Amino acid sequence: MFRNYFKVALRNIRRQKGYSFINIAGLAIGMACSILIAIFVLYELSFDKHHEKASQIYRIGAQFGPTTDMRGAFTAPPMAQALLDDLPEIVHAARYSPWPRNYLVSIGEKKFLEKGIKYADASIFDVFSIPFTSGNPKTALSDPFTIVITEDISRKYFGDENPLGKTLRFEDREEDYLVKGVVENCPGNSHFQFDMIASYLSRKGSRDTGWMGHSLFTYVVLQEGVILSQLEAKFQNFIPKHFGPQFFAQTGTRYEDYLKDEKNYYGYFLEPLLDIHLRSDANENLSIRGRIVYIYVFSIIAIFILLLACINYMNLSTARFSKRSKEVGIRKVLGSVKKQLVFQFIGESILFSFIALVLSILAVKTVLPAFSNLADRQLSFHLFGDVWVLPVLIGYALFVGVLAGSYPAFFLSTCQPVHTIKGSLYKKTHGNLLLRRVLVVLQFSITVFIFLGTFVISSQLRYVRNQKLGFDKEQIVVIPRAFALGRQADAFKQELLKYSSILSLSNTESLPGRHFNPNGHRLEGRPATEEHTLYTMYGDHDFLKLLNLEIEEGRYFSREIPADSISAVVINETAVKELGLKEPIGKRFHREFGDAAEGEFVTIIGVLKDFHFLSLHYEILPMIIRPLSEREWFYTSIKIRPENIKESLGLIEKAWRTFSGGQPFEYSFLDEDFNNLYRAEQRTGKISSIFFFLAIFIACLGLLGLVSFSAHQRTKEIGIRKVLGASISRIIYLLSKEVMILVIVSTFIASPIAYFVMSNWLQNFAFRIKMTVWMFILTALTILFMAILTISYQAIKAACANPADALKYE
């Protein structure tokens, strides 16, 4: 029996190649999409799970205000040791330097600019599972000026030689580091990436005991069975013990009195390692984190596209099986029971599903490199890589086959032989026609939902790209590591300003879109408990001109006034509101952040109009610009003319190599850097767009089946109407009307759901578009146009058929 069913299935595939191709192609596309999304989702969920103690590892964070907006991942330098001393629940603790600073590293004549150098305590290898290929993890970082490198770095600098005991030179710091270990390359699914880890004891201030500054990540390993809430409750005593005395020494206020003001808050929290990549709400992170909401979105898209493919198969299969109604009747007359017929048709569906699975695997293998690049992830798919992959795929194909084939199988197996043999199958199947229409509505509701989501995401990204930020970010070349110029910085600047293509140049410690330190500031004469957090950056006299910032009140730093480089600051309009100042010019802050000492002040000399120094995910926050003389600068930014950018870059590079002593030249453009703040949304938008087009393609295949079915069922009716004078346009309208109604119904069903979901997504942005009725109208018109385009060929073909042939039908 099984052999007979198999032969019949193969014969039907050969006889109806067009329908078979469409069915298999639809299933293959749906399965390939869902497999690709599953690979991406599983990869995102796998972050940091490779560590042996992953479930026990936590990152300490600090909260500086009553709301979670002020939660940061940085902690004070002495935090790790204090936790070990005071809290027995903590087994290991390690500090890790988060700054992605670039260093010039050399060995002999080999010199490379390295971006992946981090500093950490020796205990970092007790916290994380970082496999060593050579060296001893217990002693690798126990001494100053020791370093552990990855296998790639080992080959880069030492080739096939054993690097242990050899020395790497950090040119910028004029320091030599002894290689004491080689580890495996850092996996892509780790929230922190590194090429080299140097001993934290090598850093200046490595034994800093100050609790007022936060500059490091602190990771801890907890004992098994520790209740997190109980451990966090112990911070209530931990903070006054360690942070309190220094807070009093610097502010003159007891920490307990500071907390009496409800606006003031300072505390620590524990963040599970496995939550950092997708669920972290801390403002700082080592890498661009994912978002759990996108995991949900992509998972829903995968399910939706698979449903589209299955519904498409059901509709096409029903239309195709209509030609097999007599076969069903004859089988029943010859003794076939319902169970056997169901088994036959579901078996055929499973055969289609397995063929589609093979094609989908080939498609996934082909497009995965491009998809990995689009998703910005190191995705891989190995059919025999894990023992569970092949069984899961086989089970997946069986599930899809049964799901897609269940409706056609039960539909045909319930028909009476007297109707099927006479060819009157469809006169008794009004309920099935209703179900088919419901499936089409569901299919296009899903398509409308995906289209609207893609439309809103692309509109929001276009909005943030075109939104006026309050500063000019175009044609600004950013050079990091500007400290390498040293005393030649002024000569470098003067050399470039000789050229007409160079408009201005500025040195800064940070730039819009990059990290700004939140620091506490207290105005002169205000109570010590009244501290305001201002986001701080350091800039030179030309920063205003570089970004074309506007002064609302007062003035900016001037070279003509020497005191500006010592005791002047500029704040933004939001800071004025935060401080409650009616006349801000001339008001003074204590020089040090929160310093209680009298007589040491900095004076507000100007107020800047608000500008977006952070991404549009955030409201404009209170900020302060302090003179660069207080801080080492890191960036040199150069405004160039838009004409002949290549030539200007050549001039900049030549000057850089001359005045930096031949150091490597690297640069970026400020506008591109700022747009990268929306990389996760850009990635989501691109992926959603691709899956939308695939979804609409699959849905249109389903429409093709529905119109084919309708035309087949109404062949004689069409012939009679043409004989009685119906025009071709009238026949086309007759066949298309139902589909257009179903698409419109789908739009009305999907629109409220899409509105609710996308409204919630837009809440991630402080500045966002408004969803208007035109978005929904445009969506409906687009989907309707695609539907009409799909069904037009089949409708025109049926309308133009010879009525004589139609009347002879059956």
451-478 average pLDDT score:
87
Q: How far apart are CA 444 and CA 517, in angstroms?
A: 49
**Whole-number pLDDT of residue 8:** 65
Are 319 and 41 in contact, with CB atoms under 8 Å apart? no
Residue 636 has pLDDT above 60, yes or no: yes
- Average the pLDDT over 142-159 and give the result: 93
CB-based contact 358:26 (threshold 8 Å) = no
pLDDT of 597 over the 70 cut: no
Name which of 357-366, 387-396, 637-646, 708-717 the model is least confident about. 708-717
pLDDT at 323: 60
Give the 3-state secondary structure of residue 130.
Answer: coil
| pLDDT computed for residue 428 by the predictor | 46
Q: What is the mean pLDDT of residues 228-255?
A: 82
For residue 640, the model assigns a pLDDT of 93
Among residues 497, 489, 505, which one has the least CA distance to residue 546?
505
Q: Is the pLDDT assigned to residue 705 strictly greater than 70?
A: no
DSSP H or E stretch at residue 151:
helix 151-158
Q: Are strands 551-554 and 517-521 parallel, antiparallel or unpaired?
A: unpaired
432 — pLDDT class (breaks 50, 70, 90): low
Is the confidence at residue 667, as pLDDT, over 80? yes
- Residue 74 has a pLDDT of 84
Answer yes or no: is pLDDT of 687 > 80. Answer: yes
Q: What is the pLDDT of residue 475?
A: 93
Query: Helix, strand, coil proportions of the chain in percent (round to 5)?
Result: 55, 15, 30
pLDDT at position 124: 95
Average pLDDT, the chain: 82
Among candidates 661, 499, 536, which has minimal Cα distance to 171? 661
- pLDDT tops 60 at residue 322: no
Work out the average pLDDT over 619-639: 87
Per the model's pLDDT, the better-predicted residue between 389 and 157 turns out to be 157
User: Across residues 16-38, what is the average pLDDT?
Assistant: 83
Q: What is the DSSP letter of 528?
A: T
Radius of gyration of the chain (CA): 34
Contact predicate 621/614, CB 8 Å:
yes
Going by pLDDT thresholds of 50, 70 and 90, the confidence category of residue 337 is: low
Return the ∠ at Cα 435 (arms to 715 and 692), rounded to 5°.
Answer: 95
pLDDT for residue 596: 52
Average pLDDT on 685-699 reads 80
386 backbone dihedrals φ, ψ, rounded to 5°: -125, 150
Confidence bin at 427 (pLDDT 50/70/90) = very low
Nearest one of 764, 705, 650, 643 to 20, comparing CA atoms: 705
68 — pLDDT class (breaks 50, 70, 90): low
| Each residue's pLDDT tens digit, 372-404 | 888 888 888 888 777 788 888 888 888 888 877
Q: What is the 3-state secondary structure (H, E, C) of 557-596?
A: CCCCCCCHHHHEEEEEHHHHHHHCCCCCCCCEEECCCCCC
Query: Is the pLDDT score of 97 beyond 60?
Result: yes
pLDDT at 335: 60
State the pLDDT at residue 546. Answer: 93
The residue among 182 and 408 whose pLDDT is bigger is 182
Percent of the chain surpassing pLDDT 90: 29
Q: What is the pLDDT of residue 378?
A: 85
φ, ψ for residue 188 (rounded to 5)? -65, -25
In degrees, to the nearest 5, what angle opens at C-alpha 667 toward C-alphas 540 and 551? 30
Tell me, what's the pLDDT at 764? 78
Spatial separation of the C-alpha atoms in residues 135 and 166, rounded to whole Å:
12
Of 100-114, 212-226, 312-326, 720-734, the poorest mean pLDDT is in 312-326
Can you give the pLDDT at residue 413? 59
Q: Phi/psi at 267 (nearest 5 deg)?
A: -165, 175
**Is 50 exceeded by the pLDDT of residue 426?**
no
- Residue 463 DSSP label: H
In which band, very low, low, confident or very high, does the pLDDT at 452 lie, cut at 50, 70 and 90? confident
- How far is residue 201's CA from residue 144's CA, in Å, rounded to a whole number? 5
Q: What is the pLDDT of residues 731-742, one digit of tens each?
A: 777 767 777 788
- For the chain, percent of residues with pLDDT exceeding 70: 83
This prediction has a pTM of 0.81
Q: pLDDT tens digits, residue range 530-547? A: 778 888 999 999 999 999
Largest separation between any pair of C-alpha atoms in the chain: 107
Are residues 36 and 367 in contact, defined by beta-carbon separation less than 8 angstroms? yes
